[in-house]
Amino acid sequence: MRIFVLGTRGFPDVQGGIERHCEELYPRLVEHGCQVTVLTRSGYISQDKRVWKNKGVNFIHVWAPRNKYLEALTHTFVGIIIARLHSPDIVHIHAVGPSVFVPFARILGLRVVMTHHGPDYLRKKWGGFAKFILRLGEYLGVCYANHVIAVSENVGQDLKKRFRSVHISYIPNGVSIPSKRAKNRVLCEFGLESRKFIFTACRFVPEKGLHNLIAAYSSLRQPKFKLVIAGDADHETIYSKRIKNHAKQDNNVVLTGFLTRTQLSAFYSNAVLFVLPSYYEGLPIALLEAMSYNLPVLVSDIAATREIPLPAYRYFPVHDRKMLAEKIIELSDRPLSPKEVNANRKLIQERYNWQKIAEQTRFVYGEVCRPRSMLKILTPL
């Protein structure tokens, strides 16, 4: 079975939740007998790191403008044309924006699976017209794809309610149980000591709530731990510049920039607390990763984090900087109990296991490729 993948910037070591999702999923699908080709956005992968095959996954590097409004749309449109030339069994499109072109792919005779990673039109970075396009992409993707995968149970239920479609499956993001890494040189590069810092990792966009985290942390008197923020903006904005300027004003706030998976492992292994202050998430892989390292977590009380069952004291109200600061003090010296460690491990093995996720995705592919009676090509499913 030949699969072409669109809607991701590419991998390995490209920032983003969708990119991490694809990096974990598709090598496993290769092991399940799929021939996978990922169409990357070449601007995110430097020439020296550009490969044509990695862990059995094939890559086609396609140019796209580095413009947050045109990048995904241009890349998907060109990618569908390239896919048509190769006649794969399935085109798998990730995210609601690129799904604007699902009907186009169907007109060209392609079978399409769409993965809905969350309602991106809720993100504050988008203006009115961009939000309209994202909502349109959601509508066209859900109505015209052969099958829709939702990474969040809440999102899946919402889609079934609004679109009354039976062709929607809940298949979550996942995580692997890692081998713990001891302190390594990457910590020294940033002047950090093991067990002496609080950690978060995300893009510098408003819905991640980094401004609240920095403000809450800076309100602490003589903090015992530094605050380390990994990540950056895909496209520099007023907001990302604001975050960097605020961080510069506090010597205890450390910005690392984008980190590779190996580097991230060192931070997850050596932090005392992982904080996720988001206003909005699909299903946050960074949170799952922190849990896989048995790193204590503190998260905003939103639907996506409630879907991952955590003890009530690990949540704080969204936007509440005072409560966030109080929780940081309370939890930064509070390691996981053996009960929480066992609960995390069981949860990951049973619900967020990448091997199971790959098997579920392969099953969806099989269902989509089953011979069916002749249907009008653009009849909503």
Q: Note the pLDDT tens digit of each residue in 1-24.
A: 999 999 999 998 888 889 999 999
Structure confidence at residue 380 (pLDDT) = 43
pTM, full prediction:
0.87
The pLDDT of residue 381: 43
Tell me the C-alpha distance between 184 and 173, whole Å.
Answer: 28
Same fold, 2-174+353-369 and 185-348: yes
pLDDT value at residue 180: 62
Q: Cα(58)–Cα(329) distance, rounded to whole angstroms?
A: 47
| Confidence at residue 317, expressed as pLDDT on a 0 to 100 scale | 96
What CA–CA distance (Å, rounded) separates 117 from 152?
7
Is the CATH number 2.40.160.40 carried by domain 185-348? Answer: no
Range with the largest mean pLDDT of 9-13, 222-226, 314-318: 314-318
Q: Among residues of the chain, what percentage have pLDDT more than 70?
A: 96
The average pLDDT across 126-142 equals: 92
What does the pLDDT read at residue 374? 40
222 pLDDT higher than 90: no
Is the pLDDT higher at 180 or at 301?
301
The third-level CATH classification (topology) of the domain covering 2-174+353-369 is Rossmann fold (3.40.50)
Beta bridge partners of 145: none
Nearest to 168 by CA among 150, 155, 153, 152: 150
Rounded to whole angstroms, how far apart are CA atoms 212 and 249? 15
Q: How far is CA 166 from CA 65, 142, 225, 326, in A?
A: 36, 10, 49, 45
Q: Kindly give the pairing relationship between strand 57-62 and strand 90-94.
A: unpaired
Going 247 to 300 to 261 to 67, the CA torsion angle's sign is: negative
Distance separating alpha carbons of residues 157 and 357, to the nearest angstrom: 18
Across the range 48-58, mean pLDDT stands at 88
List of long-range contacts for 129-135, beta carbons under 8 Å, 24+ apart: 130/69, 133/73, 133/97, 133/100, 134/96, 134/97, 135/96
Tens of pLDDT, residue by residue over 352-366, are 999 999 999 999 999
Domain ranges of the chain: 2-174+353-369, 185-348
Identify the bridge partners of residue 226 per DSSP, sorted by sequence position: 197
Q: Band of the pLDDT at 104, cuts 50, 70, 90? A: very high
pLDDT reading at 320 higher than 60:
yes
More confident call, 182 vs 178: 178
What is the Cβ-side half-sphere exposure of residue 329, based on CA atoms within 13 angstroms? 13
pLDDT score at 183: 57
